[in-house]
Amino acid sequence: MTRRIAYQGEPGANSHIVCREHYPDWEALACASFEDVFAAVESGDAELAMIPIDNSIAGRVADIHHFLPDSGLHIIAEHFLRIRFCLMAVPGASLDTIRTVHSHVHALGQCRKIIREHGLTPVIAGDTAGAAREVAEFGDPTQAAISPPLAADIYGLEILVEDVEDEEHNTTRFVVLSRDLVEATAGGGPVVTSFIFNVRNLPAALYKALGGFATNGVNMTKLESYMVGGEFTATQFLAEVDGHPDDIGVRRALEELAFFTTDVKILGVYPADPFRAEVSR
């Protein structure tokens, strides 16, 4: 039986590209929304989910932090994708014929130079790959799309300009989610531990909660806060550290964290993508 991995977006989206790169033998299941992706895994329609969580330009991906804590899913892997966008249009179109360009709002914002250079009118679409599909359906040589190169192949478009993103470092981090808890083994290579917690409503609670990571020499690579329950006094944090909970430093830091927080929950203990080592050189 073919295994399935769910992603948000239409065929040809960046999430689809990551699924093909790292799970080439799996069926990639396109979903309209992140909520649908989570539901597909929770219901068993898919075994895994590929979810974007951070972008080097746009920052954190909205809504993911709302779904993760209560989903019952576990992070089992991470993958980084260098984002590449192409300007594409129907066969026969050219840079001289196009007048408008369709794409997701973030992609349009990340490709301002090409849009400004050719005086194009941006049109917001719900998805980068969906923009390519729409342009193909329109069949209008005055309309173009900014989409991943895979979308051109899928929807029969011609690439007019490659790599139109403004910044070469444009990279998105994806995490793989599973119903089953699969933890990386300690001592088997670089590991990332992701967890959430709520601080007690006390003076300097966050400072005290995080002190254990500093004193135990644990590198914290992410710390993000979110309001929960509609209350300004209830703040939840998503954090990530280098290391395994079985490592003595991480274990002691997590024990100290528990003194000043509530609802500490490990979301995943998984191998660090080699990309991390490359960018830290």
Cβ neighbours of residue 181 closer than 8 Å, sequence gap 6 or more: 74
What's the angle, vertex CA 55, arms to CA 53 and CA 56, rounded to 5?
145
Residue 189 has phi, psi (to 5 degrees) of: 130, 175
CB 54 within 8 A of CB 79: no
Please pick, among 34, 38, 80, 174, the residue that the annotation labels catalytic. Answer: 174
Query: Parallel, antiparallel, or unpaired: how do β-strands 100-103 and 158-161 relate?
Result: unpaired
CB 222 within 8 A of CB 238: yes
CB 145 within 8 A of CB 99: no
Beta-bridge partner residues of 266: 195
Please pick, among 172, 193, 197, 261, the residue that the annotation labels catalytic. Answer: 172
CB 174 within 8 A of CB 53: yes
Q: Based on the number of CB atoms within 10 Å of its own CB, is 164 exposed (0-12), middle (13-18) or buried (19 or more)?
A: buried
Can you tell me the distance from the alpha carbon of 263 to that of 27, in angstroms, rounded to the nearest whole number? 36
2 is catalytic: no
172 is catalytic: yes
Two structure tokens written together for 120: 């194009």
Query: Which residues have a catalytic role annotated?
Result: 172, 174
